[in-house]
Amino acid sequence: MEEKNNEIKKEMTIEDLAESMAKGFEKIEKQADKKTDDLATMIQNNFLSVEERLDSVEERVVSIGKEVKEVKEDTENIKADLNKKVDKFTHNDLKSLLGFIPRGLPR
């Protein structure tokens, strides 16, 4: 059997070897191209996914910004209301103590 294998090997010409190698390289090139295309598709899909998540984060940041602005406005309104109540309380106290509000003070 070893003799038969040796005979087959001896019968292969350089042209046969070159053709066999060319076919092998062509097959490897096609496989590499497919893997490269698959990798490019996977990377593109991942970038799209990241972009979608960033869009979502951006929308949430805008929403949080609006909520913070509302809280700030509410806090300012509360401060203004407290100042009015303090002013009224002070005026009422002053009126009850003095029986009148002195001229020049806001009424």
Please name the residues in contact with 101: beta carbons below 8 A apart, sequence gap of 6 or more.
91, 94, 95, 107
- Whole-angstrom distance, CA of residue 75 vs CA of residue 21: 79
pTM of the model: 0.46
Q: What's the pLDDT band for 43 if we cut at 50, 70, 90?
A: very high
Determine contact, residues 87/106, Cβ cutoff 8 Å: yes
pLDDT at 97 over 70: no
